[in-house]
Structure 1
């Protein structure tokens, strides 16, 4: 339940205006509303919880730096509005952050994709985003979530929670077995950091954070920019792949990984990426998808074990189910990683 009315956020950005607020579904962390003013202009109002983002000022500074130097080749990105005192955010009495963003007309969001053309368009948009961030000075960007995408840290927290947890249920025990099979994989990217390409990354380029044209045929934008931070390019590619290559979607109880969607995404990415990817990056794209799937599975499972405090859950077992999908995806990739890495490398080399 919100302790502060969303109208407090509205009044900071649109003082003395009457608006209609409609909650938007989706998103595991932020609260989002479609805000329509009397003149028919539509905007996005969002609340960022300080319990999740302890320094929201850093997120907004990153967003401002990201959109300030867009070029015609940059993907469509949401832009923050300024409030009555010229800032792009408002902190309420609870310390939560409110912001207002442009609403990108003529777009729709999806939680899963079905065909290679959609996958290719996702790859193209992410490559265009990476070209944009490659032109920016990483020193201008903050890290709003220290430790984010440091998979060994998530594994360590899971281990600590598990040691203190009561006996596990029959539904929980299989996930422990998955994690044990994958344990060494948690260190795979960290062990190769010196070889991998650093970049200002999106941090969370799952399917739901792309916007598509109204028919849902092609991606046109990348949104939810709260996790933009200096990182490595494979964090983004791995996260995009583990999401877009599961045709059943992330909230399904069925985990699968489509080679057809994998190759479609990489085809689109390679055609727009130019020389962004180094040789080591190209050899480990499927490994990256495996590691990020493991990482997210660890996060969902740990949150389930601690009472669903981080990711919003509509029912008690939802984060357990989410963890199951991610960990089964990671196990499947682990068992096929050599063959899939070779296929991925061939696709990237053939479309450079």
Structure 2
């Protein structure tokens, strides 16, 4: 793929392909991402997974709209983070559609940026949570219907549980016997569906990031301050509780999301407390009392939902998430469902934080 990028893709983005250096970047589950540099510029190049994002033109158009909105905010001193902007092709397009050879797009590379995969310090959680809250606050005056949903029902727990039910019933890869008790556990969580439906009927819809993992916030490697929010592919209309929940779900465990050391996987209360305080502070001028109350539910829902998605993909033969070994999605599922169990266990001690 590297030589294809060099010979076919880079010339379309004004890169000196002969002298360019190309290396893989990050460990995302969906897109293929590369860091490209020549003597004149540095860019992040991505091949968008069109099996997941079936309308890649919509993805890049949404991202460009958000980038323009945030850039305007920054110019008026209303947004403190840097803005990741698209790099146009030489023909002035946001992306390069090469048919069976992929849909490619490029974005700015931010100098001195650094990502982490696991939160190891309370301070990291505070910095990232404030940045994601600041991002949401800056988008709060952008109409929620001004961008297109790229994956309808992306964060729909009832549908995800239905998909798990279907995957288990079909058992097309004869894997159900290895995870039956976990499937049964997910299907037993009916009370959370009723509570979720009640909240969703009352909450305001906002433009949300929908993938608020720690590695989607760039730290400044010089002082570990926040630099930028990246990966805008799943930005869609939604609820703050999902963005917050996904963020804390990803922050709170001391182990990576595919760790099999389940005895070390739990929701660290100090991380939850610090992230909550920082996120709410960044959103203090717009968040409603009901939205604040919903944040705890959001953490539980997102841990349960991601565990369910991993489990469904494992039963279906690993058709969505990239895997490194046959048990990878099962490992991820058990990891997230263990976090969910830890959250439920700690609810009596933490729920008052959200009142």
Report the TM-score when normalising by structure 1. Answer: 0.91
Q: Which residue of 1 aligns with 2:246?
A: 239
Which runs of 5 or more structure 1 residues have no equivalent in the other structure?
Answer: 346-352
- Aligned residue for 1:33, secondary structure, equals strand
Q: Which residue of 1 aligns with 2:352?
A: 342
Which runs of 5 or more structure 2 residues have no equivalent in the other structure?
Answer: none
Q: Deviations over 1:181-234 (max 9, x none)?
A: 424324532332122231100010011211112157343221111000111111
C-alpha separation between the residues in 2 aligned to 1:117 and 1:17? 41
Q: Deviations over 1:262-290 (max 9, x none)?
A: 11111211222123221222122121111
Q: What is the aligned length? A: 343
C-alpha separation between the residues in 1 aligned to 2:60 and 2:292? 32
Q: Which residue of 1 aligns with 2:219?
A: 212
Q: Which residue of 2 aligns with 1:350?
A: none
- Aligned residue for 2:342, secondary structure, equals helix
Q: Which residue of 1 aligns with 2:106?
A: 100
Q: Which residue of 1 aligns with 2:326?
A: 316
Q: State how 1:282-321 maps to structure 2 within 5 Å.
A: 282-321=292-331
Per the TM alignment, residue 318 of structure 1 is displaced from its structure 2 partner at its CA by 0.8
The answer as to 2:290 corresponding to 1:280 is yes
Q: Deviations over 1:296-349 (max 9, x none)?
A: 11111111111111100011111110001111111222233343221343xxxx
Asked if structure 2 preserves the Cα contact closer than 8 Å seen for 1:23 and 1:34, the reply is yes
- Aligned residue for 1:204, secondary structure, equals coil
Asked if structure 2 preserves the Cα contact closer than 8 Å seen for 1:80 and 1:100, the reply is yes
Q: 1:271 aligns with which of 281, 288, 302?
A: 281
Change over 3 Å in CA distance of 1:223–1:187 after alignment to 2? farther
C-alpha separation between the residues in 1 aligned to 2:2 and 2:9? 12
Per the TM alignment, residue 169 of structure 1 is displaced from its structure 2 partner at its CA by 5.9
Q: Which residue of 1 aligns with 2:192?
A: 185
- Aligned residue for 2:67, secondary structure, equals helix
C-alpha separation between the residues in 2 aligned to 1:296 and 1:278? 26
Q: Which residue of 1 aligns with 2:94?
A: 88
Per the TM alignment, residue 3 of structure 1 is displaced from its structure 2 partner at its CA by 11
Q: Which residue of 1 aligns with 2:180?
A: 173
Q: Which residue of 2 aligns with 1:130?
A: 136
C-alpha separation between the residues in 2 aligned to 1:59 and 1:269? 26
C-alpha separation between the residues in 2 aligned to 1:143 and 1:38? 38
- Aligned residue for 1:315, secondary structure, equals coil
C-alpha separation between the residues in 2 aligned to 1:53 and 1:6? 21
- Aligned residue for 1:83, secondary structure, equals coil
Superposed CA RMSD in Å reads: 2.0
The answer as to 2:255 corresponding to 1:248 is yes
Moved more, 240-249 or 332-341: 332-341
The answer as to 2:108 corresponding to 1:109 is no
- Aligned residue for 1:34, secondary structure, equals strand
Asked if structure 1 preserves the Cα contact closer than 8 Å seen for 2:149 and 2:236, the reply is yes
Report the TM-score when normalising by structure 2. Answer: 0.90
Per the TM alignment, residue 173 of structure 1 is displaced from its structure 2 partner at its CA by 2.7
Q: Which residue of 2 aligns with 1:9?
A: 9
Q: Which residue of 1 aligns with 2:145?
A: 139
- Aligned residue for 1:69, secondary structure, equals helix
Change over 3 Å in CA distance of 1:4–1:106 after alignment to 2? closer
